[in-house]
Amino acid sequence: MTTATDTTILAFDMGASSGRALIGRLTSGSDGRRKLEVTEIHRFPNHAIHVGNHLHWDVLRLLHEMKKGIRLAFQGGYEPSTFGIDTWGVDFGLLDANGELLGNPYHYRDSQTEGLIEEVNGLIGQEALFRQSGLQFMPFNTLYQLYAMKKAASPKLDIARTLLLTPDLLAYLLTGIKSCEFTMATTTQLFDPGAQAWNAELMDKLGIPSRLFLDPVHPGTIIGPLSPEVTSELGVPAMRAVAVGTHDTESAIAAVPAGDDPFAFLVCGTWSLLGTEMSGPLLSNETMELEFSNEGGIGGTYQLLKNIMGLWLLQECKREWDEKGNEIGFPDLVRMAEQATPFRSLIHPDDPRFFSPGGMADKIRAFCEETKQPIPESEGEVARCILESLALRYRQALEQAEKLTDIRYGGLHMVGGGIQNKLLCQFTANALGRPVWAGPIEASAIGNMLMQLVALGQCKDLREARRLVAASFPIDVYEPEAAANWVAAYEVFIGFGRV
């Protein structure tokens, strides 16, 4: 192991509502123990943009904010040697023969893919498609976005020469170097985990040009320096880009401070991703029927996980209340939820009606009315309904993961920004009847930094990197409470009938 003092790196962590630039400093104390220190230096909004009937990302605004983050890093005297980018999965930009971006990328919540899961399954076969991709059938997967463009006879597909997934696109706009990172490639439903290659045969059947896809590189690969144009514009040195675990979920999982034994994780944010780390994909029919995904991880691992709607439900309700002039901060919402009557109303968070933005509180009330439950009226009642329902969904997903792996996990590691909601953490421990270990909060950014340190030779591998996390960041422990009440509530929840 190489020792280091004050190794400095820069991480860009992009979420569905905001992006951040964070400095990581690897330091050694007088006792020789190393720690990773994280400092946020820039935060900026990331909003979906409606254009006609479509929903887009404003990728050039994101590029502008990232350049600002780079400038601020050097103006602050940090002088990072490398940077990495992690974002949400599945979305992409298309480049023409001159390397120019063909319009703003579509947003994964765009409506163009409605009904296409069933259509593609009819063409390929559900079981065959799962064996060839290992992914949960989600309407936003890259496969369905590209198939929607094909059905619409989009001229972009004819003109395009390269497809770059979001973090690879942003890295290209900063470096001029085209690349495709492995963990992000596995979110597309066009990468075959068994063959460890792009599924050109599937693309041909669906009319998707296979020429668009680059061979993936693995996390920890150094991509190259900032372009001369960017260094000149910003007045900074040509620091190098590293292909980290560019899918933010995988970066977050890399930062789980687990030991060597099998562990269960929950990446908690706008989405909730619950699962376990494995040495390879699990492509059985039972995995498909329980709606789990196999996503490529760091160090040759695969994540067996389930996508769960997550705190998007509460975020959307808050946005609507704010727009109506009833602005309530998240801490106040949590306090109101804590004071509301327990188990008055429950929902299934993954009911399809909750996927699209708009009218979220009314959708929740409609679900409760249809299932003959009391209708939540106040903001606190709606918030409690969401948080209790999420915790119960986590129990269901954990038990399903245990069924697939034949392993019983002693508790659940929760990471990500959602763990700042201490009530949700406690509810999760209650629902599971097992301890929850919560931390670190900045998991995606930290995992991003860990792979930069691996690329720089400062961490030997993922195991050593996780030990660094355990030594650097506090972990909160939540023990289960009120077990009998949660067991009764779970019986109501599973009666909603979804896997």
How far is it, in rounded angstroms, from Cα 113 to Cα 363? 21
What's the CA gap between 71 and 320, in Å, rounded? Answer: 35
**DSSP 8-state secondary structure symbol assigned to residue 341:** P
Contact call for residues 329 and 383 (beta carbons, < 8 A): no
- Distance separating alpha carbons of residues 398 and 435, to the nearest angstrom: 13
Give residue 26's identity as a one-letter amino acid code.
L
Output phi, psi for 463, to 5 deg: -60, -45
Rounded to whole angstroms, what are the CA distances from 146 to 216, 244, 383?
Answer: 19, 25, 36
Q: How far is residue 135's CA from residue 148's CA, in Å, rounded to a whole number?
A: 18
Nearest to 172 by CA among 221, 213, 225: 225
Q: So which residues are the catalytic ones?
A: 248
CB burial class (10 A; 0-12, 13-18, 19+) of residue 256? buried
Tokens 């009120």, located at residue: 482
Contact 461, 23 (CB under 8 A): no
Residues 6 or more apart in contact with residue 27 via CB below 8 angstroms = 5, 6, 34, 35, 37
- Closest C-alpha to 188, from 202, 205, 176: 202
Cα separation of the two ends of the chain: 45
DSSP strand pairing (412-415 vs 436-438): parallel
Q: Is 29 helix (H, G, I), strand (E, B) or coil?
A: coil
Q: Dihedral through CA 203, CA 209, CA 213, CA 215, nearest 10? A: 60
Amino acid at residue number 209: P
Strand ranges for 299-452 from DSSP E: 302-308, 412-415, 436-438
Rg (alpha carbons) of the chain, rounded to whole number: 22
Burial code of 315-337, b = ≥16 C-beta within 10 A, e = fewer?
A: bbbbebbeeeeeebeeeebbebb
